[in-house]
Amino acid sequence: MDRFQIQGGQALRGTVRISGAKNAALPILCAGLLTDEPLVLHNVPPLRDVSTMRRLLEGMGMTCHRHAQSSDGQETLTLQANNVSRLEAPYEMVKTMRASVLVLGPLLARFGEALVSLPGGCAIGQRPVDQHIKGLTAMGAQIEIDHGYIKARAGRLKGARISTDMVTVTGTENLMMAACLADGVTVIENAACEPEIIDLATMLQSMGAQIQGLGTDRLTIHGVDRLHGAHHTIMPDRIEAGTFLCALMATGGELLAQGARADQMGATLDKLREAGLDWQESEEGIFARADGRPRSVNARTAPYPGFATDMQAQIMAVNTIAQGTGLVAETIFENRFMHVQEMRRLGAQIEIDGHTAVVKGVGRLTGARVMATDLRASAGLVIAGLVAEGTTDIDRIYHLDRGYDRMEEKLVGLGAHVTRMSS
Ligand code: UD1
């Protein structure tokens, strides 16, 4: 199992190219199931979750042709679902990646049938998919849960008015994809507004889908009889960009997050400015400079455009060495503070009070051996390791590889001392 060894204390300087967004790529790959024509996707990040999704889709009979990588490592994929025979997402795949549930809506809409393993709980919480099921049932699907599997059948889905009980990102995506091929009009109320949903919807529109209300919490979809092939370029990963900017805030220095878009990162950039980051957007991306110790900030996670739960561990890492005390409240997932005990090993002073972490900034962290527990917790630990004095070893870095493209290479390119060790 690989680990990162970090010699902390280097300021970050240089340019880092931001990869395509994981959370846009995953639903977009699944949208390939909605047509028998080729879908050409550019700027696909070479991540473990993306290859897991490809394997899942190939297992169904979709062809995924990988073109040569571009000089910055991003891939172009051509998908074609003209020979799909196995309408199933088995447990072995879903347990390694919950986003596998995104095949449910497309399979049901195009083939009238799907068998998808229930994802079950995961490290950061229970994460049920009841809203996906509720919405598809409202569209006329017959769904039963049997031996841990969602068994779904439908004739042609019917447009419906759906109001989800909470804001759900993949739930909105699943229902939106299903509605594109339904008979009649579907209205999704309380829809998630994340930029990745807009990216997916934009691609669906270029496949011929009729979707209105992009970027709002009310999506209206006029179903069409069929969708056609398209070309699409995946948006930049706003969480990756935010992670590098948090790292910069903690270590000091200056960097260009090439390709990052400020309009998709409002809450993160506002917090970082409050913490003392000086940033500007240009045509190339976001240029940022950090000088001296950050100021502590309070952050409360919320659906977009609120502060992203996927940035919570990283902003906490900034607070650990900031001046003053910052409160970090997690409102989306019930168990997303597992990085706290690992950050304490580096000397961070953090108390948990219910869903809030009270982070008292300390003058310095010191290196230690810590363990990554989930994707974003790992990113928070990397930031803490970059600023800690001495050596930090982060075990179980495979979590990080699910969602960050060659993070250690990118950090080394910015002057950090990070080595991947295989044991
Ligand atoms: C997506 C993102 C993930 C991010 C999360 C919240 C992808 C592939 N993953 O995950 O990186 O952390 O959004 O921004 O895009 N819920 C239910 N029932 C449902 C669906 C959700 O109770 O049917 C709850 C969840 O348990 C959670 C909350 O709603 O507490 C939000 O979850 P959701 O937005 O669905 O997260 P994901 O789409 O799984």
**Strands 230-233 vs 349-353: parallel, antiparallel or unpaired:** unpaired
CA angle 71, 377, 412 (to 5 degrees): 35
Region 397-409 average pLDDT: 94
Cβ distance 322 to 345 under 8 Å? no
Other CB atoms within 10 Å distance of the CB of residue 213: 15
Cβ–ligand 1 contact at 332 (below 6 Å): yes
Q: Where are the alpha helices (DSSP H) in 102-221?
A: 104-111, 130-138, 169-180, 195-206
Strand ranges across the sheet with 12-17: 12-17, 253-258, 285-290, 278-282
Render pLDDT for 296-340 as a digit per residue (tens, 0 to 9).
999 999 999 999 999 999 999 999 999 999 999 999 998 899 999
Q: Using 50, 70 and 90 to split pLDDT, how confident is the model at 123?
A: low
Which pLDDT belongs to residue 125?
61
Polymer length of the chain: 423
Determine the Cα–Cα distance for residues 408 and 38; give it in Å rounded to an integer: 34
What are the CA-CA distances from residue 321 to residues 28, 279, 373, 396 (Å)? Answer: 38, 20, 21, 24
Determine the Cα–Cα distance for residues 160 and 187; give it in Å rounded to an integer: 6
Residue 126 clears pLDDT 70, i.e. is over it: no
Q: φ and ψ at 44, to 5 degrees?
A: -80, 125
Which residue's CA is the closest to the ligand 1 atom numbered 3? 310
Which residue's CA is the closest to the ligand 1 atom numbered 9? 23
SS3 282: strand
SS3 83: coil
Residue 121 clears pLDDT 60, i.e. is over it: no
Q: Which atom of ligand 1 is nearest to the CA of 98?
A: 39
Cβ–ligand 1 contact at 128 (below 6 Å): yes
Cβ distance 116 to 150 under 8 Å? yes
What is the whole-number distance in angstroms between the Cα of residue 166 and the centre of ligand 1? 9
48, 143, 170, 404: which to mutate for ligand 1, most atoms within 8 A of CB?
Answer: 170
Region 180-194 average pLDDT: 98
What is the whole-number distance in angstroms between the Cα of residue 168 and the centre of ligand 1? 5
Cβ–ligand 1 contact at 414 (below 6 Å): no
Q: Which of 200, 182, 181 is nearest to 34 (CA)?
A: 181
Which pLDDT belongs to residue 70?
77
Cβ–ligand 1 contact at 309 (below 6 Å): yes
Residue 157 clears pLDDT 80, i.e. is over it: yes
Which residue's CA is the closest to the ligand 1 atom numbered 29? 168
What is the whole-number distance in angstroms between the Cα of residue 254 and the centre of ligand 1? 33
Cβ distance 14 to 413 under 8 Å? yes
- How many helices, marked H, and strands, marked E, lie in the chain? 14, 24
Determine the Cα–Cα distance for residues 365 and 343; give it in Å rounded to an integer: 9
Cβ–ligand 1 contact at 319 (below 6 Å): no
Render pLDDT for 250-268 as a digit per residue (tens, 0 to 9).
999 999 999 999 999 999 9
97, 127, 165, 304: which to mutate for ligand 1, most atoms within 8 A of CB?
Answer: 127
102-111, 117-126, 314-323, 374-383: the lowest-pLDDT one: 117-126
CB burial of residue 85 (10 Å; 0-12, 13-18, 19+):
exposed
What is the whole-number distance in angstroms between the Cα of residue 64 and the centre of ligand 1? 27
Q: Is the peptide bond before 305 cis (omega within 30 degrees of 0)?
A: yes
Other CB atoms within 10 Å distance of the CB of residue 155: 10
Q: Return the H-helix or E-strand segment holding 394.
A: strand 391-395
pLDDT averaged over every residue in the chain: 95
Task: Compute CA 45 distance to the chain's CA centroid, rounded to the nearest angstrom.
Answer: 12
Determine the Cα–Cα distance for residues 30 and 170; give it in Å rounded to an integer: 11
SS3 322: coil
Strand ranges across the sheet with 230-233: 63-66, 75-80, 39-44, 230-233
Cβ distance 202 to 230 under 8 Å? no
Q: Which of 45, 40, 395 is nearest to 241 (CA)?
A: 45
Render pLDDT for 56-83 as a digit per residue (tens, 0 to 9).
999 999 999 988 777 777 899 999 999 9
Which residues participate in catalysis according to the annotation? 122
Q: Any idea what DSSP says for residue 28?
A: H
What is the whole-number distance in angstroms between the Cα of residue 123 and the centre of ligand 1? 13
104, 132, 134, 169: which to mutate for ligand 1, most atoms within 8 A of CB?
Answer: 169
Cβ–ligand 1 contact at 131 (below 6 Å): yes
What is the whole-number distance in angstroms between the Cα of residue 182 and the centre of ligand 1? 24
Share of the chain above pLDDT 70, in %: 98
Render pLDDT for 76-113 as a digit per residue (tens, 0 to 9).
999 999 999 999 999 999 988 999 999 999 999 999 99
Which pLDDT belongs to residue 205?
98
Cβ distance 328 to 360 under 8 Å? no
